[in-house]
Amino acid sequence: MNKKIKVVVAGQPNVGKSTILNTISNAKLHTGNFSGVTVDKTVVEIKKSDYDIKMVDLPGIYSLNAYTPEEQVAKNYLFDKEYDVIVNIVDANILSRNLIFTLQLLDMQKKMILIVNMIDEVEGKGGSIDKNRLEILLGIPVILTSAKEHRGVDEIVETIIQTYEKQKQKNKIYYNERIELRIEKLASILKKSPHFKDINYARFVAIRLLDRDENTYKTIHDLPIFIEVHDVLEKMYRKLETEFDEESTSDILSNERAAISYNLQRETLKIPEIKESFSEKVDNILIHPIFGLPIFLFFMWALFQLTFQLGNIPMNWIDIAFSSTANYLSEILPQGSFNSLLTEGIIPAVGAVVMFLPNILILFFGINLLEQTGYMARAAYLMDGFLKRFGLQGKAFVPLVSGFGCTVPAYMAARTLKNPKDRIITMLVLGFMSCGARLPIYVLVIAAFFANHNPGNVLFAIYIGGAVLGLIVAKILRTVLFKGEPEPFVMEIPPYRFPSVKSLFMDLWIKTRMFLKKAGTFIALAAMVVWFLSTYPHHPKIVQSYEKKIELATTKVQKDKLNDEMSAKLLGESYIGTIGKTINPVFKPLGFDWRMTVSVIAGLAAKEVVVSTMGTLYAVGNHGNNTGLIKKMQQNISFRAAIALVIIIMIYSPCLAAMSTFYAEVPQWAWRTFYTIYPNVVAWILAFFAYKALGLLGY
């Protein structure tokens, strides 16, 4: 039986917690150069000789006086869960600020290790850290690491095991004696209660009470000991506040910790003065008050150009690969239902989706660069004033941009917004940021209807259009439902960092695998359902009547035409045809035929399904490749209906996965209901107006 060790990894945001865990295990946690990348706890498991080590990656947290939902996750874990060792990670560049949180963790009196990460950057500036001195001062093991250069990380697991096996050392850090006196007094009262028999725990709770920790106060409040604690505590607050001339005992403790941390840094960190850092030089241009925004827009524009132009090169190859496989299989397999299911149902549908993998990867790559370099935090800063005008907070920029990739993590990223109103408004408009899965639909429509324009520009316009619409809706929501201003926001600007090429590609690889898995499972399944619904019930009479006509036809052109007619007629009479025609009146005012209607509805499951369903429904009769689909779209869909389609896709409800994430994040039924209905109504109305307006303009 292996011994089990449970470790919790805690630290301030953006210090490299997730990166370190990735380097010591095979985990592929998401990382990024801004605070608030990890928003939920994740477990990583490591085996080493006789030990099974479970490590929990927590969201970054500035202090135990937590505010935002994701900080609360970290705090609750630290307070309420059982674990053996705390691994506290700090950023060597900002040692003293990070140590403030370390001191709070030390108060917990648990076995603990300190990892001083990003040592490469300190050394790069000609600095150094005295590890031994820091160990002596803090009384816990210290490891200097660079997760980027894979230095020091091998020691981590070894040290965890040693710390786990050894007796905990006595505390080395104490507060000012006037504070210690109070802590002791409170702890001795608390110790009378059976809940605080452990003196170490009693001391910790006493400190939390002096720190005015609401969670701790609430816990005590419900215990019998509260009556006795309450009187003493109130007096203590007032006494200490006068003695230290501060407004709150929480400030007194903060000052204490700041002073201790500062001294710890002075004792251990040597760093030469630098005039102007690389980051500052670059920022003179990138967050320039006038040029900053245009530069940002230019980057986004360039990204969409690349997404379209570069992504289209391998597209044809994939298209040909799938359609020739389908043709080949259709010939060698015996004719019948299985043949048709495979070569007319599954393969073209999966192919129609996989084709867009290159485009999607380029888009993700761009967003990833934004995250890894540190530009994201700057763009958020740049956009703050602009977003505020629309009732959104600058910090909302991070989830909004993530929304261009995938709406699911974007909803979760909204946790970094502290104010519940700001958070809900952001989440309600997040769907307007078109996700990567909607990209194929746009690319298809652009290829069919905007062939003579610069497709990259059209794509950029669609994405920007969605974003602008989202902003307008945010403004309306703020005015109508949530009166007041968005809260001012604090987001640290990290230094620029060269992204690790390995982690960039690892991320793309994970995305590729996920995408292909989805195409092979979910999309294939959806294609099977669509195939079944569009093939059954059989109508032998229709087939017979056409077969006669086809026999009589003289030219090949006539025969093909009749064949197509028969397929269309059979499709119309199939289950899916019947369903489509029944719902079609809802979308008819937008110029949709029943096939578009069905595709759009199917898109509620996943946006990729829109393309694969259109592929099946428009390309009946031939083993359609996408060039075929584009032609059929041009023949069957009017320009203004195509625009209406784009508007619907841009706005209506996101996929099931995204919707269930929203429900999980927002417990209130009123918001859930509103969220489920309003985008669809808005989408329909706007699409209708666009359709009508284009009609008046003569399209």
Ligand X SMILES: Nc1nc2c(ncn2[C@@H]2O[C@H](COP(=O)(O)OP(=O)(O)OP(=O)(O)O)[C@@H](O)[C@H]2O)c(=O)[nH]1
Q: What residues line the site for Mg ion (CB under 5 A)?
A: 17-18, 37-38
CB nearer to ligand X: pick between 114 and 646: 114
Chain positions 50 to 79 lying near ligand X, rule: CB under 6 A, are 59-60
Cα–Cα dist 152/115, whole Å: 9
Tokens of 202: 């009693």
Cis peptide preceding 537, ω within 30 of 0:
yes
Cβ proximity to ligand X, 17 vs 511, nearer residue: 17
Residues in contact with ligand X, total (CB under 6 A)? 27
Among 38, 88, 98, 597, binds ligand X (CB under 6 A): 38
Q: Which positions from 449 to 468 touch ligand X by CB under 6 A, shown as an x/- string?
A: --------------------
CB of 657 to Mg ion, least distance (A): 22
- Residue 497 binds what, of Mg ion, ligand X, none (CB under 5 to 8 Å, by partner type)? ligand X
Between 17 and 203, CB nearer to Mg ion:
17
Which of residues 38 and 613 has its CB atom nearest to ligand X in the complex? 38
d(CA 389, CA 393) in angstroms, rounded, equals 9
**In the complex, least distance from residue 696 CB atom to ligand X, rounded to whole angstroms:** 51
- Of 32 and 351, nearer to ligand X (C-beta) is 32
Cα gap 196→528, rounded to integer Å: 61
Per CB under 6 A, 191 contacts ligand X: no
DSSP class of residue 48 equals E
Six token digits for residue 527: 């294609």
Pairing verdict, β 85-91 and 3-11 = parallel
By a kind-dependent CB cut-off of 5 to 8 A, residue 372 interacts, out of Mg ion, ligand X, none, with ligand X
Rounded least distance, CB 468 to Mg ion, Å: 32
Distance, CA of 649 to chain centre: 21
Is 37 among the residues that bind ligand X (CB under 6 A)? Answer: yes
Residue number with CB closer to ligand X (57 or 593): 57
Site for ligand X in 263-322 (CB under 6 A): none
Tally of CB atoms within 10 A around 454: 14
Q: Which stretch binds ligand X (CB under 6 A): 13-21, 222-230, 564-572, 621-629?
A: 13-21
Q: Report, in Å, the least distance between residue 12 CB and ligand X.
A: 7
CB of 19 to ligand X, least distance (A): 3
Binding partner of 147, given ligand X, Mg ion, none, CB within 5-8 angstroms per partner class: ligand X
Residues 95-124 that bind ligand X (CB under 6 A): 117-118, 120-121
Whichever of 18 and 68 has its CB closer to Mg ion, that residue is 18
In the range 360-379, which residues lie near ligand X by CB under 6 A?
A: 372
Q: Judged by CB under 6 A, which of 8, 36, 357, 414 binds ligand X? A: 36
Question: In 3D, which of 502, 618, 684, 585 has the Cα closest to residue 22?
Answer: 502
Burial of 120 (0-12, 13-18, 19+ CB in 10 A): middle
Angstrom distances, CA of residue 396 to CA of 30, 291, 379, 402: 19, 22, 11, 10
Stretch that binds ligand X, among 10-18, 244-252, 442-450, 521-529 (CB under 6 A): 10-18
Which position among 8, 10, 15, 85 is part of the footprint of ligand X (CB under 6 A)? 15
The helix (H) or strand (E) run that includes residue 124 is helix 119-124
Smallest distance from the beta carbon of 413 to Mg ion, in angstroms?
12
Shortest distance, position 181 Cβ to ligand X, whole Å = 36
Contact assessment for residue 359 and residue 447, using Cβ atoms and an 8 Å cutoff: no
Instruction: Say if residues 33 and 374 touch (Cβ distance below 8 Å).
Output: yes
* Residue, CB closest to ligand X: 60
What does 120 interact with, of Mg ion, ligand X, none (CB < 5 to 8 A by kind)?
ligand X
Longest CA–CA span in the chain (Å) reads 107
User: Measured between alpha carbons, how far is 87 from 27 in angstroms, rounded to an integer?
Assistant: 17
**Partner interacting with residue 603 (select from ligand X, Mg ion, none; CB below 5-8 Å by kind):** none
CB distance 400 to 470 below 8 Å: yes
CA angle in degrees (0–180, nearest 5) for 502-12-24? 40
152 sits near ligand X (criterion: CB under 6 A): no
The residues in 480-499 that bind ligand X, with binding defined as CB under 6 A, are: 497
One DSSP character per residue, 164-206 reads HHSPPPPP-----HHHHHHHHHHHHHHTTSGGG-SHHHHHHHH
8 A C-beta contact, residue 77 and residue 7? no
Question: Taking the complex as a whole, how short is the minimal distance between the CB of residue 598 and Mg ion, in angstroms?
Answer: 42
229: Cβ contacts below 8 Å, ≥ 6 apart: 186, 189, 190, 209, 220
**At a CB cut-off of 8 Å and minimum separation 6, what does 316 contact?**
none
Which of Mg ion, ligand X, none is residue 14 near (CB under 5 to 8 Å by kind)? ligand X
Residue 36 contact partner, candidates Mg ion, ligand X, none, CB within 5 to 8 A by sort of partner: ligand X
Is position 19 an interface residue for ligand X (rule: CB under 6 A)?
Answer: yes
Q: What tokens does 16 get?
A: 């490299």
What HEC string does 504-536 produce?
HHHHHHHHHHHHHHHHHHHHHHHHHHHHHHHHC
Name the minimum Å distance from CB 135 to ligand X: 20
| Residues at the site binding ligand X, with contacts judged by CB under 6 A | 11, 13-19, 31-33, 35-38, 59-60, 117-118, 120-121, 146-148, 372, 497, 500
